[in-house]
Structure 1
Amino acid sequence: MKWSLLELNKYKDKPCEFSEILDLKASLMRRDDQILDVSPAKVDGLLTVGNDEYLIHYRIDVIVTVPSSRSLTPVPLPIKIDVSEVFMTTEQYQNRKEQVPEEEIIILEKPTIDLNESVEDNILLAIPLQVLTDEEQHSHEMPKGDDWEVLSEEDYAKKKQAEAQQITDPRLAKLSELFNETSEDDDKQ
């Protein structure tokens, strides 16, 4: 869904309300190859036209299926987010007052506001780096196979510490045997 800026001028007195079902599956899968499936996105919101900017507020409700970061099992990830964005033309941006921080402004390169693009960007930003199945979240067992295993940082530190204690310098091996012999002799006396 797109709005031209000329079309939006008729909404200066009252906000433009919208409720859309967007099919963004193909586009999102093209942008992120980790995405396995995307349900149609329900988007409800409103767009207000000010003298200096275009404000858009909407809620996204979508299910994105991505692989588990531990086992690569597909995990359906429900995403419900509220989005508020400020759009400005280049002229509005140059004449802006310092009310809105610079990093919160989206400068329009075309004379249109594209809702699909905004929704796609926000869905991609909402996907967490670590995604686990319900079973993986409740289990402390990490995956492992032949000659490999995944360790938590704590387990790795414990394993390294245990290995460090077991390794003795070969030059001191004879010396440690000497200490064992003297302690046995002391016990006999």
Structure 2
Amino acid sequence: MKWSLLELSKYKNDSLSFDTSLDVTDRLRQKESMILDATPVQVKGTLTVEADSYLLFYQAETVLTLPSTRSLEPVDVPIVIQIDELFMTPEQFRENKDKVQEQEVFLLDAQTIDLSESIVDNIVLATPLQVLTEEERNGKDLPSGEGWKVLSEDEYESMVQEEQQQKIDPRLAKLSDFYSDEDK
């Protein structure tokens, strides 16, 4: 969904509301290889046209299918994001440099505002880094194999404490006495 700046000039000092569904699955998969699939994105929001800027506010909802970070099994992950973005043409930005910082503004290179591009970028940013299946979240069993196993942070900390508290092998205890006598 795109709006040309010429079309938006009709809404000067007014808002344009939208409520739509967009299928951006292919664009999401191109941008982020971990995304296996996505449902159409439900988007509801407003675009406010002011004399010196364009303010885009919307809420987007979708369900991403991502691989589990442990087992690589597909997991459906609901994503709900609320976005505020401020757009300006380069001319508008030059006129209002003192009012806004460049990091807070999207400068328009074309004469259009592309909602689907904004949605794709923000969904990719909202994609979680750790994805677990329901069983992996609820279960205590972590993956293991021959000679290795995955530990939780708590298990690792208790293992380190145990190793530090272990007493010296009684067969070597006499050696520690020997070294302490030499130090004197």
Post-superposition offset of 1:108: 0.9
Please list the CA deviations of residues 128-167 of structure 1 after superposition, one character each: whole Å capped at 9, or x if unmatched. Answer: 1112222222223322122221112232233234345558
SS of alignment partner, residue 70 of structure 1? coil
Give the 3-state SS of the residue equivalent to 1:75 in structure 2: strand
For the residues of structure 2 that align with 1:89 and 1:38, how far apart are their CA atoms?
A: 32
2:172 aligned residue = 173
Query: What code does the residue aligned with 1:41 have?
Result: V
Equivalence for 1:68: 68
**Equivalent position SS for 2:86:** strand
- Partner letter of residue 50 of structure 1? E
* Structure 1: unaligned runs, 5 residues or longer: 179-189
- Kept in 1, the 8 Å contact 2:85–2:105? The answer is yes
1:75-114 alignment to 2 at 5 Å?
75-96=75-96, 98-114=98-114
Q: Secondary structure at the match of 2:116?
A: helix
Structure 2 counterparts to residues 51-66 of structure 1, below 5 A? 51-66=51-66
Moved over 3 A (4+): 97-102, 160-170
Flag the 1:20–1:144 CA change in 2: closer, same or farther, 3 A. Answer: same
SS in 2 for 1:173: helix
* DSSP 3-state at the match of 1:47: strand
User: Does the residue aligned with 2:60 lie in a helix, a strand or coil?
Assistant: strand
The offset of 1:48, in angstroms, is 1.1
Please give the alpha-carbon distance, in whole angstroms, between the structure 2 residues aligned to 1:72 and 1:117: 28
Unmatched 5+ stretches in structure 2: 178-184
So what's the TM-score if we normalise by structure 2? 0.85
Partner of 1:182: none
In the alignment, structure 1 residue 9 sits paired with structure 2 residue 40: no
For the pair shown, which has the larger CA radius of gyration, 1 or 2? 1
CA offsets, 1:22-77, max 9 Å, x none? 11111111111111110011111111110110011111011011112222221101
SS, match of residue 79 in structure 1: strand
SS of the residue corresponding to residue 106 of structure 2 reads strand
The one-letter amino acid of 2:3's match is: W
Q: For 2:55 and 2:20, how far apart are their aligned partners in 1? A: 18
What amino acid does structure 2 have at the position aligned with 1:72?
L
CA distance in 2, matches of 1:97, 1:174: 74
Looking at structure 2, the residues matched to 33 and 91 of structure 1 have their Cα atoms a distance apart, in angstroms, of: 37
Residue 157 of structure 2 is aligned to residue 157 of structure 1: yes
Q: Which residue in the other structure is 2:139 paired with?
A: 139
Partner Cα distance (2:54, 2:14) in 1: 13
